[in-house]
Chain A
């Protein structure tokens, strides 16, 4: 009895080593993920700053107040043009500074007559069209104004009967860096009629998620290669289509092998299916593509899903499970006069829920991750899965690393949910496939 309480020699060192190895691996594998999240929240400028920072800086919302006392301007149109010039031209001049959003407030005779504002993702999206060069004239802005309105890039509120302006009336002396830069730019600019009354700045943490909004906004564009929600949808369709096909085709074949086909034939058919595990995907890539071409299934989601209906391991797992079901039960059902299909649907399928869930989770993980086959068979952006799209994103100049990282995170979330919530099922499935297969 007493000896039980004496600690075994080496137990302490084993425990110490075990915990530290686990800790080391976990920390080392979490660091990249933390970095991915941090990168996805950085603005276009600080993402390419070296040395990099771990915590993204909270973007600054800068507001310029312009005073129009004594100017000729009257109509809404004229003031809107002023606001657009103030925002777009100033921002273009300061495009290497991290600005979260830029706003302009117009004051005339002590009354706030307009307010305009634009977040940084709209500036990034519109920059190539609206301010391609540093040519800041009224004529260019007049030309671009319709574009800005059409794409709703800059918000403009016209409030001629607005309340009295009661904000600061001088720019102040000790402005933070960003505002000081804005002030200097606006003061030195010759494209504005108004006089700078004040420049204010506040931290706006909601702008941290701008890269995700950019991802969403790009989807609305004309170029189908940026439609990230569509790609996620395609991946979802392909994944669930494959799972359903495994339930139907694989499940039925597994049942037939376990209970309908008798004697040697069963073994031979099993071999026929399971031996295909040895056929490497890349070896049949080209003929499979040509087959799909003949069936007119290239550039369709069917073309991605259909080859997945032939997974030897799935039939193997189903067969193994169905063999464990008691034969007496089926016998009894047969005598009741139930037809084989009815037996399958009413008795087998409900009982097979455990194997169906295990196979579904395993299928989900591998099909969601799949890259090579969609890359080959989906040649048009309309049918890309997100994996193909991500690979395409990395070659596009207009995708900054920060937006890229936000797309990676969005793609990770569904898989993360499945893996964490189905951890027990995965362990089950892994022990099936790993030990037997």
Chain B
């Protein structure tokens, strides 16, 4: 308030150079924004456009852009079994990630909300698996899965299961790749937990007075009020899963029998192993389109609800 009274008397003499001040303001904003604009154009927008552009060429790195082939790269993709296999794998991974991981942190967070004693300790302990760098985690799990010396087969032997081939078994490899994520949900638990903290206490109290028990309150008050966060997380989940690359590349490299080769691995292989940059661009664009479409549908659906 005080500053307002100070500035007012000065308003008059400042009117004359207002124009100069404004152009100075533009210059200043430009100065502040310039580094970010340069980096975003150079590292985001230009590559995105180039990816689309490349997909219409038989791209040659030495003599870019090479021969114009129109939609041939796309045609090649849609005719190749590799692409359809990778697309199928990607969707299969999507389902497995959904079954094994998506709901886990929601349940964990809702139950964590009921824990009063030791709440903070549990939150810290939930983060511990996240503290193992992702790549290190995948390598650790690969060691646990080792069919000859691994811990998992050893432990399962006690309950008369196995031995399993895990990552070497085409029927099992996808599940084995996703399983570590089942235990690494710490960050998402925090997101949901902080969302639950935002639920007004009156709502919970009112439900209590109406005679809703704790289980009923979870279902009827807490879960519905998390809907917005769950929706946002689901969008992030979709694109996250579609783009997942690290675990497949590190744990199986796409095998066995191409059962874990996803679209993102196909992009990597066709560009940096086969050097068919045009095809890689086409796959990238298809992925981008699929994600955009699913995200759009998701937003539309949640709006109509």
| Contact status B277-A50, CB under 8 Å | no
Which of A83-91, A101-109, A271-279 contacts its partner? A271-279
Interchain CA distance A315-B61 in the complex, whole Å: 33
What does the 1/0 interface line of A355-394 toward B look like (CB < 8 Å)? Answer: 0000000000100110110011000000000110011001
| Contact status B214-A286, CB under 8 Å | no
| Contact status A29-B40, CB under 8 Å | no
Set of chain A residues within 8 Å of B250, measured between Cβ atoms:
371, 391, 394
Kindly state whether residue B178 has any CB partner on chain A within 8 Å. no
| Contact status B287-A19, CB under 8 Å | no
Kindly state whether residue B168 has any CB partner on chain A within 8 Å. no
| Contact status A8-B131, CB under 8 Å | no
Kindly state whether residue A260 has any CB partner on chain B within 8 Å. yes
| Contact status B195-A280, CB under 8 Å | no
Interchain CA distance A51-B154 in the complex, whole Å: 7
Kindly state whether residue B50 has any CB partner on chain A within 8 Å. yes
Which of A61-69, A118-126, A200-208, A409-417 contacts its partner? A409-417
| Contact status B108-A21, CB under 8 Å | yes
| Contact status A11-B39, CB under 8 Å | no
Separation in Å of the B141 CB from the closest CB of chain A?
7
Kindly state whether residue B281 has any CB partner on chain A within 8 Å. yes
Separation in Å of the B286 CB from the closest CB of chain A?
10
Set of chain A residues within 8 Å of B130, measured between Cβ atoms:
365, 419
| Contact status B36-A315, CB under 8 Å | yes
Set of chain B residues within 8 Å of A283, measured between Cβ atoms:
48, 51, 267, 284-285, 287-288
Separation in Å of the A43 CB from the closest CB of chain B?
14
Q: Which residue of A lies closest to B264 (CB)?
A: A282
| Contact status A415-B36, CB under 8 Å | no
| Contact status B246-A25, CB under 8 Å | no
Could you say which of B111, B123, B249, B284 contacts A284, with CB atoms under 8 Å apart? B284
Kindly state whether residue A22 has any CB partner on chain B within 8 Å. yes
Q: Which residue of A lies closest to B22 (CB)?
A: A262
Kindly state whether residue B112 has any CB partner on chain A within 8 Å. yes
A-B contact count (CB 8 A): 304
Kindly state whether residue A250 has any CB partner on chain B within 8 Å. yes
Set of chain A residues within 8 Å of B131, measured between Cβ atoms:
412, 415-416, 418-420
Set of chain A residues within 8 Å of B149, measured between Cβ atoms:
47-50, 52, 401
What does the 1/0 interface line of B264-305 toward A look like (CB < 8 Å)? Answer: 100110011000010011001101100110010000000000
Set of chain A residues within 8 Å of B33, measured between Cβ atoms:
252-253, 256-257, 261, 269
Given contacts A32-B141, A287-B46, contact A8 B122 (CB under 8 A): no
Interchain CA distance A206-B258 in the complex, whole Å: 45
| Contact status B268-A22, CB under 8 Å | no
Kindly state whether residue B156 has any CB partner on chain A within 8 Å. no
| Contact status B195-A420, CB under 8 Å | no
Kindly state whether residue A185 has any CB partner on chain B within 8 Å. no
Interchain CA distance A287-B57 in the complex, whole Å: 13
Within 8 A of B (CB), among A1-56: 8-11, 13-15, 17-19, 21-22, 25-26, 28-33, 35-36, 39, 47-52
What does the 1/0 interface line of B136-177 toward A look like (CB < 8 Å)? Answer: 100111111010110100100100000000000000000000
Which of B70-78, B79-87, B91-99, B182-190 contacts its partner? B182-190
Within 8 A of A (CB), among B27-72: 28-29, 31-33, 35-37, 39-40, 42-48, 50-51, 54, 61, 64
Interface residue ranges, B against A (CB under 8 Å): 3-4, 6-7, 10, 25, 28-29, 31-33, 35-37, 39-40, 42-48, 50-51, 54, 61, 64, 107-108, 111-112, 114-115, 122-136, 139-144, 146, 148-149, 151, 154, 157, 183-184, 187, 190-191, 194-195, 208, 213-216, 229, 232-233, 236, 239, 242-243, 245-246, 249-250, 264, 267-268, 271-272, 277, 280-281, 284-285, 287-288, 291-292, 295
The 26 sampled A-B contact pairs (Cβ below 8 Å) are A8-B208, A19-B115, A22-B126, A36-B143, A50-B154, A252-B32, A252-B35, A253-B33, A261-B33, A279-B48, A280-B291, A284-B44, A285-B268, A285-B280, A286-B277, A290-B64, A291-B50, A312-B40, A369-B135, A372-B245, A390-B136, A390-B139, A408-B140, A415-B131, A434-B191, A437-B232
